[in-house]
Copies of this chain bind each other. A is one copy, B any other.
């Protein structure tokens, strides 16, 4: 961990714009394929300090630049063509631990890295890269009993279609014929979709591991697409909560209660969301306090005490963010809620920003706090 912090300091001192490649002494030569590479692909690679190295074949191209998303090294990493006609380059500094979106700009066009798997973010399927983290065991695929993630297609009269959701059922769910479970409705962020929490977030593995360690009671997680304005895809400007609230509360929820062994009722339901999904969580939980008892905003804003009309209906408010976001705002909001008599908990993910490592850790902290009433 110290090594990582040290590397961050070096990065800040040396700044962006210089090629890390040319300052070889400080970059460790222990690069390994990113674990999110397509099967059999060697590049992109990452080293133990969090540097990423890219390799793109495009022998006739004029320019190849890798752009990393939030939490990566800001700006582009231009690649250089070697004698074999292959473009190579290394980030100018180490990246945050965890998952990052990126893409490659080739001669002015935006493409994905053929070496990497794709993840839905920024309203498109983007390349993904994983920087090994000091605490990565909590979301690793381990030899423990595994729950299942299943795709359901539920009828949505309000939007005139069948809509997709993913449902995590914990280990043991399919063996038992009678045990019933509480439910967490878990929302993605802007530009993402219902695949994000399991693909990028590894919500299923986080739950499998927590349950195997006895740290949380098993519960069901339901993830669906949080935008209903598909014709203006990805637009936030005209976003209204009512259409999604109808889909979630009046269409998806009854379907889930009918087709899965849930414990129905407000006391056994939680809603959480990251970023835009936090905004949705706040709006829906406040508009329908009869539906959820547990609220969680992950890098997604805060509640003020005066916004909670009937505090006796709220069993938990969980607020979190990365240490590079607004940790003081999250902590002070939780303090104010507690002073007003609400059971509020804050969590700050160290050395992360508005990115999935923050939200993986947030889910790890949130799960054990749910359904305690």
Contact = CB atoms under 8 A, between A and B. Distances in A.
B141 A153 contact: yes
14 contacts: A39-B230, A56-B109, A57-B109, A106-B109, A111-B112, A117-B125, A118-B125, A141-B161, A141-B162, A148-B150, A150-B169, A174-B260, A175-B258, A177-B177
Interface stretch (A58-66, A319-327, A356-364): A58-66
Given A85-B108, A110-B114, A123-B39, A175 B259 contact: yes
Interface in A135-174: 141, 143, 146, 148-155, 161-162, 167, 169, 174
Interface in A27-68: 38-40, 56-63
Interface of A: 38-40, 56-63, 85, 106-112, 114, 117-118, 123-125, 141, 143, 146, 148-155, 161-162, 167, 169, 174-175, 177-178, 193, 204, 230, 233-234, 258-260
Contacts of A154: 146
Copies in the complex: 2
Interface centre among A109, A112, A230 (most CB of B within 10 A): A109
Interface centre among A107, A123, A177, A204 (most CB of B within 10 A): A107
A112 B112 contact: yes
Nearest to A157: B143
Nearest to A57: B109
A61 B151 contact: no
A151 B114 CA distance: 25
B150 A150 contact: yes
A298 B175 CA distance: 33
A-B complex: 4 closest residue pairs judged by Cβ atoms: A58-B109, A150-B150, A40-B233, A60-B107
B108 A111 contact: no
B40 A234 contact: yes
A63 to B, nearest CB: 7
